[in-house]
Structure 1
């Protein structure tokens, strides 16, 4: 905090200045004793006018403000008007007008010049931020009214950060040569937190569920790190719209927020916010039809792309998606200016909404140009490619709205506004894009910990808008007690200007007896293309090179390794050229805060060159839904993999492994085919595996601001087949090569923290094998600092 203790005695408050002005006015009234009580009937004429006390301001300027000329006949009222004009000019600290016979003397004291502007007591807002707010600047004439206005602006800036108790007092410190230092003394006060958020009128969804929707949060244990519990009035306005979107997406078309009451505590450090709502009834789709008022558009053809069915809960997003599909079909059919107008008929008896899509010919309006402003780093082309239209294309308002959402979704900008206005003629439209950029790069130094790999350090550089081209670059260097990981990735989201993402990846991983009695190293290099093949489906193609090796840490022939591992170590480095593809179908992001969704993934890699040839297949299916008014989330997961060699054979480092979330209750590598040979007892993983999981997440009854919820799970998993390595058993014993299903049940505690979501698993194996390595408790933590 800055100190001005020694100079505070010289401070002159604005109350003192006001008093001086008042005294000057009184002196003026005394200095005009010759004016009779009926001053309006008296007139005066001065042969000369003298101005005294001015240093910066020219005498002519002062006379111009006063409006007095030599020889001019003036009434007492006109003299008072001249005095008021000089005071109102804001140039003078004091003004005195004194008649002396035939001479009028104007004595002024000029306001000082601001020497410098300082801030005291500010911690939350830095000097640079405050300097951009205030209008008072060094080398300008000091103005009390402007300083008071600046103080109000500073207090408002603190209020936007939830510090409603902030107080700002402007003071001046006199310097030589009629200069002053302007000091804003700031008492920031405490954050005005939101202690409680309540709802009145809700019956379908609980307060707990609705609070999860809002951006504003209740103050919790981590209030010093989570700033969304700070009261911000603008955020409450946004929350009202979010609530409406939430209910509309679930068919409650009559929902409205009747009032939002924000009650400030007596200490002015906390708010109690109450949303008064009316939910209404839930509506579903009734009859869905398409009619055409456009002769060239066949209604039956456009009905084929509709995916709306009667009985489905109504959602505006479903209607928008249907319109988008029909307009896309119109473009393919070569029909410009086709517009789809939804006409909705309400049926209160059966709580349905009939939707009739009317195909019409819209006005012939074209896009004249797209103007982009505010981007200093991001290239225009990055913003322009979010539009599916270019200059000269037919204007479509819905496409402009969708482009605006895509621009905001880039997460490159603090603010992005997209508006359309009339161009050079009524049939031309100019689209204005105004953005305000924000930092998109980060350099982080972090610590890692897991129950499998122990403590470690990590350095990561991430840039999501590399060189302003919208490209992503990530470089990570991390190391723990038993492994090191180095990776580089690069993504170009619009390769060759198309909706095709190009990616490049390179990595090196080295382990030192990490859950095994041998060392490993693996290097990968790859590149690929990903593009859409459907409304919610994407296909990726890739090519890469892989090299891996297993080593004996003792230098050769360790009895703790065993004959199978020794035979795999003897293969030294294995190289493979790999091509592959992956298909993804995902409906989980459909609509606002979706209640259900499905994810399907299927991927295959083919080793077509190098020391080995194989086909590696992975598949995963996830289905999720919410029940009990969306308080409980149910999730089912099925996944599996297969590795089939046609040349060479798989090694332990190549085979498929069960990851931490695949089978809780066991250590990494704690299950699967195992080779016991003397003192050696090593997990060999497998060429095939299957996993099935059922999960539930539910509230624990704790205040949701704590970010703590509970879960339960049931896992079943099997991994088997070590391929040709089974021929190298030697004198040892190969266990579970034909598979053995393990069953696990457990409970979870979820905790949302600023460093990421943490999951604490407590698991119990219902079915296991004698040599499995269990793990009752598991947690993974990664902290950035």
Structure 2
């Protein structure tokens, strides 16, 4: 050894940098020598071979399981790297807090410290979300091994759940409490934080529609004082993504084919207690339909026949849904004509100069693919046939992708399932497809409580029990109990939407009702049974055929001031009416060619005389036309209603059989406030009439107030008449108004959409009335469910 413990190195102590450099070189050389001495003598020292294993520290987990987890075979040589892999495998299993591998000759000693098991899971600090709902979110479970990483992931999921309710500042901290027998209680400490609301929703780039109109489209709303009932003013990321798509659909359906949402930026207010949502859009130009033609590229298919069924006309505002409806109509015609595999390809040509889109519907031949079978899974309660009813094709039919998509939409629209996925895959051969339907069911029974108020009937309570998927057959069974101060009803209803497997709906209603009206000198008691069949007669029309049976009676309510007519009718006692009725309905207000305009046409006839005591004919009609103008801000509506009653039996008709006008038909008057009256003996009884006609014209518009208040205004003008009392027992009566007279009413409405339900205030003034009419200058209605 040399000086200073170095080998082969000598430094002479002398002044200057040379001596310091010499000492530094000696030190480095000495460290290198020690490192070399510590190295294994050969590479073979890194290999191991174990003939036996000894596991220490395990309590719940079997020794054989731990040894198998290492992947080491007894007697087989393993390297240090493989030994490290065994260590990592045990650690990654999540079963152990610590792992140690100690080679002792031919024995491998494995020392482990097991993770504790979860005794129970608790939540602390949560008020807005219940424990049972949080339990569905977390994946950690009692009596399973505690995994810190999983607990952290569960905490993140809980925080995300709070974020979806607008509480983006919520924090969740997982903690454990040690128990005996290597158990722990897992506690999620939750700080919910305050709900951060959206103070304002504004738009940039919109010219065709105002911010107010676009805010009506979005599901996200601005904050308002009703937020205790409405939670749509909180910031939810998924809701904003949904609103972008809804906004795009809104513009596309109105011809803005180039519309796009550039951005939807969320910013904190200066106080950091609310958000601003700013949506930047590019509207583009509005396009209309140009030339609409049909060409056939299939031999034997006449394009003219398909051109005739096109309802869209040139000059109409372009909408993709109208194109889709036309394609569906053409493909349905092909099925009726027995043309298989016909596909309709819309070819659109832009004309930027006149802002039109020419649409050419090309009839082409699609691939020869058949439906091999339809597999349905996940429906534990709902019968297969209920789901199969939503398909317009069956096994062996030609495959139509459009029909499959529409069937999927109909299945989701049933409301029986949380999720419903419809997908296709190749069958046993390339020309066969299998349709897979996977559903997740949800509860379909409901209990509803409701309240109502009107000046005429007072406060009322409604209780409803319903099951929309009765016994998994897709049938609806309901029981409704409705009580108000002056009327009550109890109705049991049943609906079979697909009678005999066809698009034929069966409705059965059985119930009793009664009135104790302060506007009449009598009470009524009625029991009824009404079965009916309804089937479509077109895309927008339907026909209802029903049988009506009722037993009704007018009773003295203790007011002895009723006149001769009412007295004679009370004396008739209980009477039974048995008859049939037809009702035809055409409604284009929702699914018509124009999303902003539509018409409802309804006409019904009833004939009583199939047995029973009453024999009469009654016909009623209603026409409603409405449209939206001024950038869809103002709704214009015109309504015309009328009815004819003709008594055909012996004796006389009753007030219950004739028409009595209520506030929903003719405003400005009390129920039964206009029409013929009996004023004999000091009475003033409304006795109804055989004919009525009412025309209403109204406009609804914004009031310029913040739309989150839900307030809109309206003005209306009603003209109505009720007359004729033929076939009425008028002996001893003094009748006024039998010949009728037109009444004119103007009014103003305040419409308020609240969290409790829609409120309507009507302020009216009769411009023309008769001296015996009962005017009502104010009316308030409220109806809600909760």
Corresponding position of 1:714: 717
Corresponding position of 1:687: 690
Once residues 38 and 656 of structure 1 are traced to their aligned partners in structure 2, the CA distance between those partners, rounded to angstroms, is 115
Once residues 655 and 761 of structure 1 are traced to their aligned partners in structure 2, the CA distance between those partners, rounded to angstroms, is 27
CA shift, 1:178, in A, is 1.6
Question: Does 2:162 correspond to 1:158?
Answer: yes
CA shift, 1:71, in A, is 11
Question: Does 2:751 correspond to 1:741?
Answer: no
Give unpaired runs (5+ residues) of structure 2: 1-33
Cα distance, 1:73–1:582 mapped onto 2, change above 3 Å: closer
Alpha-carbon RMSD: 2.9
Pairing partner for 1:389 from 386, 393, 398: 393
Corresponding position of 1:263: 267
Corresponding position of 1:662: 665
SS in 2 for 1:367: strand
Cα distance, 1:342–1:39 mapped onto 2, change above 3 Å: farther
1:619–1:639 CA contact under 8 A, matched in 2:
yes
Cα distance, 1:236–1:562 mapped onto 2, change above 3 Å: same
Once residues 309 and 73 of structure 2 are traced to their aligned partners in structure 1, the CA distance between those partners, rounded to angstroms, is 85
5 Å-filtered alignment, 1:587-736, equals 587-590=588-591, 594-609=595-610, 610-648=612-650, 649-725=652-728, 727-728=730-731, 730=732, 732-736=733-737
Pairing partner for 2:119 from 86, 104, 115: 115
5 Å-filtered alignment, 1:429-508, equals 429-508=433-512
1:618–1:640 CA contact under 8 A, matched in 2:
yes
Pairing partner for 1:365 from 364, 369, 372: 369
Cα deviation, 1:542-577, whole Å, max 9, x if unaligned, reads: 1121222222234xxx75111121122222222222
Once residues 377 and 231 of structure 2 are traced to their aligned partners in structure 1, the CA distance between those partners, rounded to angstroms, is 30
Once residues 477 and 62 of structure 2 are traced to their aligned partners in structure 1, the CA distance between those partners, rounded to angstroms, is 62
Corresponding position of 2:245: 241
SS in 1 for 2:679: strand
CA shift, 1:227, in A, is 2.6
Corresponding position of 1:26: none
CA shift, 1:314, in A, is 0.9
Cα distance, 1:51–1:605 mapped onto 2, change above 3 Å: closer
Once residues 40 and 78 of structure 1 are traced to their aligned partners in structure 2, the CA distance between those partners, rounded to angstroms, is 20
Corresponding position of 1:757: 758
Question: Does 2:327 correspond to 1:326?
Answer: no
1:559–1:679 CA contact under 8 A, matched in 2:
no
SS in 2 for 1:381: helix
Cα distance, 1:513–1:647 mapped onto 2, change above 3 Å: same
2:206–2:283 CA contact under 8 A, matched in 1:
yes
Once residues 414 and 204 of structure 1 are traced to their aligned partners in structure 2, the CA distance between those partners, rounded to angstroms, is 37
Corresponding position of 1:565: 566
Cα distance, 1:37–1:123 mapped onto 2, change above 3 Å: farther
Pairing partner for 1:542 from 540, 546, 552: 546
Cα deviation, 1:502-547, whole Å, max 9, x if unaligned, reads: 1112232222344111122222212111111122111111112122
Cα distance, 1:41–1:706 mapped onto 2, change above 3 Å: farther
Question: Does 2:430 correspond to 1:426?
Answer: yes
Once residues 301 and 77 of structure 1 are traced to their aligned partners in structure 2, the CA distance between those partners, rounded to angstroms, is 78
Cα distance, 1:592–1:604 mapped onto 2, change above 3 Å: closer
Cα deviation, 1:335-381, whole Å, max 9, x if unaligned, reads: 11111111111111111111111111111111111122222322221
Once residues 135 and 607 of structure 1 are traced to their aligned partners in structure 2, the CA distance between those partners, rounded to angstroms, is 64
Corresponding position of 1:272: 276
Cα deviation, 1:145-181, whole Å, max 9, x if unaligned, reads: 2221221222223223333222111111111122111
Question: Does 2:379 correspond to 1:375?
Answer: yes
Cα distance, 1:466–1:270 mapped onto 2, change above 3 Å: farther
1:447–1:458 CA contact under 8 A, matched in 2:
yes
CA shift, 1:102, in A, is 11
CA shift, 1:87, in A, is 4.6
1:63–1:69 CA contact under 8 A, matched in 2:
no
Cα distance, 1:265–1:181 mapped onto 2, change above 3 Å: farther
Once residues 762 and 326 of structure 1 are traced to their aligned partners in structure 2, the CA distance between those partners, rounded to angstroms, is 50
Cα deviation, 1:604-654, whole Å, max 9, x if unaligned, reads: 001123323211010000000000000000000000111011223321121
Corresponding position of 1:580: 581
Pairing partner for 1:290 from 286, 290, 294: 294
Once residues 382 and 71 of structure 1 are traced to their aligned partners in structure 2, the CA distance between those partners, rounded to angstroms, is 63
Cα deviation, 1:198-250, whole Å, max 9, x if unaligned, reads: 21111001111111112222222221222322322222222222111111111
Once residues 756 and 110 of structure 1 are traced to their aligned partners in structure 2, the CA distance between those partners, rounded to angstroms, is 58
1:249–1:592 CA contact under 8 A, matched in 2:
no
1:45–1:102 CA contact under 8 A, matched in 2:
no
Once residues 491 and 671 of structure 2 are traced to their aligned partners in structure 1, the CA distance between those partners, rounded to angstroms, is 22
5 Å-filtered alignment, 1:514-533, equals 514-533=518-537
SS in 2 for 1:780: strand
Once residues 98 and 529 of structure 2 are traced to their aligned partners in structure 1, the CA distance between those partners, rounded to angstroms, is 79
CA shift, 1:65, in A, is 6.3
Cα distance, 1:331–1:55 mapped onto 2, change above 3 Å: closer
Question: Does 2:355 correspond to 1:345?
Answer: no
Cα distance, 1:355–1:81 mapped onto 2, change above 3 Å: closer
Cα distance, 1:63–1:201 mapped onto 2, change above 3 Å: same
Cα distance, 1:99–1:37 mapped onto 2, change above 3 Å: farther
Cα distance, 1:90–1:665 mapped onto 2, change above 3 Å: same
2:263–2:279 CA contact under 8 A, matched in 1:
yes
Once residues 193 and 435 of structure 1 are traced to their aligned partners in structure 2, the CA distance between those partners, rounded to angstroms, is 35
Cα deviation, 1:65-101, whole Å, max 9, x if unaligned, reads: 6789999999999988776665555433345678999
Cα deviation, 1:267-326, whole Å, max 9, x if unaligned, reads: 776332222111111111111111111111011121111112111111112111221222
Cα distance, 1:60–1:630 mapped onto 2, change above 3 Å: same
SS in 2 for 1:678: helix
2:220–2:239 CA contact under 8 A, matched in 1:
yes
Question: Does 2:139 correspond to 1:135?
Answer: yes
2:758–2:784 CA contact under 8 A, matched in 1:
no
Once residues 418 and 343 of structure 1 are traced to their aligned partners in structure 2, the CA distance between those partners, rounded to angstroms, is 28
Once residues 750 and 403 of structure 2 are traced to their aligned partners in structure 1, the CA distance between those partners, rounded to angstroms, is 43
Pairing partner for 2:255 from 247, 251, 256: 251
CA shift, 1:64, in A, is 6.7
Once residues 715 and 302 of structure 2 are traced to their aligned partners in structure 1, the CA distance between those partners, rounded to angstroms, is 52
Count residues in correspondence.
746
Cα distance, 1:641–1:592 mapped onto 2, change above 3 Å: closer
Once residues 38 and 505 of structure 1 are traced to their aligned partners in structure 2, the CA distance between those partners, rounded to angstroms, is 100
Structure whose CA Rg is larger:
2
SS in 2 for 1:647: coil
Worse overlay, 352-361 or 544-553: 544-553
Once residues 225 and 312 of structure 1 are traced to their aligned partners in structure 2, the CA distance between those partners, rounded to angstroms, is 41
2:47–2:80 CA contact under 8 A, matched in 1:
no
